[in-house]
Chain A
């Protein structure tokens, strides 16, 4: 039932920033280095392959077409020369048809069209030639003095149409008015170049895959050290200052790793130094408090004698005696609080938790200090939780004491269980409230709010001369001057229970402190027997 509480590091900042940095991991997939590298490699491979292919394709296609054209023009010219010799001009329809057929015969049965003025003869009577021999080409042939050619698309297929005027064979090369056109089918050439394109396309896929693999490999060699460095950085951020990375090679990444290690070394060294100093300071505080306690024990004891006999003393001496008594009590509280906070700092506190009725505890805390009449309570009954009753009492005493000391009446204490798993205890007053900067600092040690919030510096109405018996051996809770540590101790006690205390300003004025406690149910209590 009593369980040791693990030491809680006093700094909270690094943890929070670590949580933020851990959240970054999920975004890494989309824009990660690995993805970017692969995309880049693939793009480069694609662009090079496509560019090279495009250039090669263009050259090959041009060469093939050029050769076809040249062959077609030469063939036509030679054939016309051979067949044309036997043609009488001007021809009639029959001789022109025969001429066309003969020319076609020598050109592998390509479609040949011969024209002479209004006469037209086609080697293949069924072929439609009008769509393929354009007016443009005809005009060019008629006006020019040599062979002309044109590539045309007809019904989805490519054709090469060569046209030439026929000249007389004598010296002056007069045009005879006869024009010959031959239509060459380019489908074979087209298929050849298409096949070339296909083979290039099938060759690109493995190249791209290879590029992607190479990219992954490269990414791996770069990413592995980067990932190691990342892990080490996260460990460092999580507080493992001994985290280091292995330095391999002499590249930029190795430099980075070396720098990381040096930084971590420096950090570890200064952290150790700070910790040592802090531990020393804390030990000093604890030692001082401890040393103060023995003389205080003697003073506390005899101060009672002075206070008891004050009535029989002359007024000045009586006043002095009472002051000694009151201040001794205050000094005791301060030393007790210092020792208590030192114990929290040293992690030497333990939770002595038992099943407790919280409403009863609050009422008893108030009654013990004679505050029942000064405080309005609104307590939810039958809230039982596993808590350290003495520590809850310390929290209540400090929060209510603070409200009575610094706030203004009415002070209200509200116990509620808003969820099934937590309880809240609200201590509200109607005083000047808490400005935002005070809300942050009110739990700091020895924090003093400005004079406006310190209502009773004179101590007139507080605590009278009733003697210290009421608050007995509990250091806190006196409703005179606070030690300046009460709120810090209250917060530490709340945290020890896994809870917290929030300070805020009420909308209608005044300050409100809310203790949040996780509700551990009685069933969860593990009790050792004997």
Chain B
């Protein structure tokens, strides 16, 4: 099922030893390599080190002693923009979820989470970092008024400057720009980007679009590339 490699490495950042051990046990059984950290500081040190290079995804508890999860998330984003981050959060703590998504998390799961759910989210997040399927001949590289999207290389440049887009934001951009001018609903985006078949949290989409706009738009408050279609969803262009 996996394409990237035989043993994807996951970094678990969780202060409670039992939860951490439980997750590690489950993930190892399902073929993941696991690194663990009990605090944000440890996690950042680990990511900066030799072992950090192998980590392909981070599972981050928001409630951490010392540096809180939001700050850890922001620092991970600054250091490794392409590393998917899944937050562990309390269900319904809306403020935490919104703040976490704004800090750059790609997805969240609610504690207590069952092993299959956690695994499904991890798989989906990893899949987002894979190359995007071709949209037809010559569609690998498209130029949208200065915003150049390379679907094969998974790179985006704006006026020649490379933009470091985290996988989720990149994926949202790829989905929308695949058919410029067509409206995609939040549900469609949730299904195609996050693999949420039903009742995904539309705030995931809104937050990802918000982060994406901050990077690709000239004036994020008046977006040209990713436009909101009130009551329906989002649309790429028209430019």
A interface residues with partner B (beta carbon < 8 Å): 290, 293-302, 304-305, 308, 329, 332, 335-336, 339-340, 343, 349-350, 352, 354-355, 364, 367-368, 389-390, 393, 467-469, 472-475, 522, 525, 527, 529-530
Contact = CB atoms under 8 A, between A and B. Distances in A.
Interface string B110-141: 11111111101000000000000000000000
B210 interface: yes
Interface of A is mostly: helix
B111 A293 contact: yes
Contact of A525 (B91, B92, B117, B231): B231
A147 B76 CA distance: 138
Contacts, number: 106
Contact of B112 (A293, A355, A469): A293
Nearest to B209: A530
B111 A297 contact: yes
B16 interface: yes
B137 to A, nearest CB: 35
Contacts of A364: 198-199
A473 B115 contact: no
Interface string B70-109: 0000000000000000000011101000000000000001
B109 A304 contact: no
A305 B114 CA distance: 10
- Most B CB contacts (10 A, CB to CB) among A340, A350, A389, A522 go to A389
B25 interface: yes
B91 A475 contact: yes
A467 B115 CA distance: 10
B68 interface: no
Contacts of B116: 304, 467-469
Contacts of B114: 300-301, 304, 329, 468-469
B186 to A, nearest CB: 8
Nearest to A302: B22
A339 B93 CA distance: 10
A393 B113 contact: no
B203 interface: yes
A329 B199 CA distance: 20
Nearest to B219: A530
Given A527-B230, A530-B228, A301 B221 contact: no
Contacts of A296: 112
B23 interface: yes
B179 interface: no
Contacts of B25: 301-302, 305
B213 A355 contact: no
